[in-house]
A and B are shown apart, each in its own frame.
Chain A
Amino acid sequence: MNCRELTASVTAYLDGELDDAEASACRGHLRTCPACRTLAADEAAVRDGLADLERVEPPAALWSAISARLGEAEIADSQRAPAARWWSRLVARVRPVLVPVGLTASACAIAIIVVQVRRSPAREPLPIVVPAMQEVARPSVRIALRDASDELADEQRRIDDKFRDTAADLLELARGEIAHASPGQARQFALEVARHEKAVLYAPAGRERERAWHVLTAYLETVAIGDRLALGGDR
């Protein structure tokens, strides 16, 4: 007998319900196992405590109701098919064995799966949450350490963007004027715009490019307001 078997039998042992052979085996295990002795002592103390409680007489109707339910169950059992009764007996007998066997089998299956996953050379990387959170945290650190030289470069980009937006708006306005101009004036306008845009494109960043932007936008403004001189002749 081992500890698990004794745990299952200790109540019956204390109640004197085991046969001689099983009771002897229990006694033998309790002699050699301090933990099970403690368990049996605790169980005996609970039983003694319960025995000291004042007996309570149940109401007379309680037993009548229980007897009636038992009778219904026995009648139902008597009406079941022989095969069903046999199956119930078998389940009742093998249940104490099946539960530990099932647990062991489940543990073995999990262990096999884990070993297979670890041995698989082509396994996909599992989604990892923590590194992703670390990646999220990094940009805030970079923002905090953003240098003034980066911000100066940003300012240059802002200037270019604003000039570009302004030129786009002015170009629309100027095209509205050019729609009423002669073909020669329209051709002259296209050439001038291309020349100024090229100057912006090739100017180095900084003062040179900003001045090129100013020249382009000033020309477009002049055309947009309908200046005849800017269009290369009287309209």
Chain B
Amino acid sequence: MKALLAAALLMVASAASGARADDGTARDGDGEVVEHAQLTVLPQGVAIGAVVIENLMGDLRIEGHDGDTVSIIVVKHAPDPGTLKRLRVTAVSDPDGKVRLATLLNPGASAALHTVRMDLTILVPRNARIEGRVGSGRLEVRNVDAGADLDAGAGQILVRNVAGVVQARSLDGSQRFEEVFGSLESHAVDADVAIDTVRGATLTAQVYQGDIDGQRVSSRQVRMTAVRGDIRLDAEPQAGGAMMITSLRGNVDVRLRGGVGTAVQARAGGTLTMPDGATSAGERAADRWVDAQFGPRRSRASVRIESRFGDLAFSLAQ
């Protein structure tokens, strides 16, 4: 049985600045009305194992903590008290331990979208699985251990210090991942993707129009593709692992480090740059693929790199 907790647990916290009204709101320097509120969701019999949040009205920040509750800090901005009352947060707790949060704009007197805003900061149990969605606001997830499933329109996605499977999708909002320990799957249509320090079974980054920049990547299976964008990767291949790095119309620059041997296949429509010291190398004239092997033969990682119409550079770090 679902329990609607929002109304019962809504507590008005402190107002940030300016003259504070009796109803818990305050006016800032620009004359808009600001309300700070806090909502706490307690576990209903079973531990909270998943939190699903949708906020199309502003930013969404999710942070793991050591407790077993979900705390929601809401900051509402509106041009007047009447419009402020239209901004609502609903919280529904499922019996299976899933908590669903959403922001709503109730019907009322007209107000332009740029004049209203709701920013949420959610503190969740560290081992709860996260599902988050924003529109044009920023979506940030930190310090959780059960992975995250994230969607954004034009908003930026930022993931930091997260363990577990992470999936992220955005239309034209950039994505940035730092310290992800688990499989990562990223898809952006028209935006850049930046990855720094990712370690997991698989890493998939796919972009239609935009660049992919990967640093300190040590996932076992790595797959990066861009249709209209460049790819830069600094990675440490895993023994027996595989990498496929492909750009259709952009340039590709791959730099590998570590002591694992690699079997590399490379092809470029433009300039192809390969390192010296390959134990064997040859060019198959028919399809212009270049084969090269580096390092120990045992448990070599398979690396396939291609730029159909751009330049390609492959190098090994000493």
Contact = CB atoms under 8 A, between A and B. Distances in A.
Contact of A163 (B136, B151, B171, B248): B171
Interface residues of A, number: 26
A104 interface: no
Interface residues of B, number: 32
A226 B309 CA distance: 13
A222 interface: yes
Interface in A121-180: 145-149, 151-152, 155, 159, 162-163, 166, 170, 173
A217 B208 contact: yes
Contacts of B209: 166
Given A211-B151, A225-B246, A225-B308, A166 B133 contact: no
Contacts of A155: 56, 135-136, 153
B135 A218 contact: no
A221 B206 contact: yes
B112 A148 contact: yes
Chain A, interface SS category: helix
A196 interface: no
A166 B151 contact: no
A170 B190 CA distance: 13
Interface in B232-246: 246
A162 B171 contact: yes
A207 interface: yes
A80 to B, nearest CB: 84
Contact of A148 (B116, B246, B247, B308): B116
Given A147-B110, A152-B56, A163-B171, A222 B225 contact: yes
B307 to A, nearest CB: 10
B189 A163 contact: yes
B225 A146 contact: no
B111 A147 contact: yes
Nearest to B169: A214
Interface string A212-225: 00100110011011
Given A148-B105, A148-B113, A221-B208, A210 B187 contact: no
Contacts of A166: 189-190, 208-209
B151 A210 contact: yes
Interface of B: 54, 56-57, 105, 107, 110-113, 115-116, 133, 135-136, 151, 153, 169, 171-172, 187, 189-190, 206, 208-209, 225, 227, 246-248, 306, 308
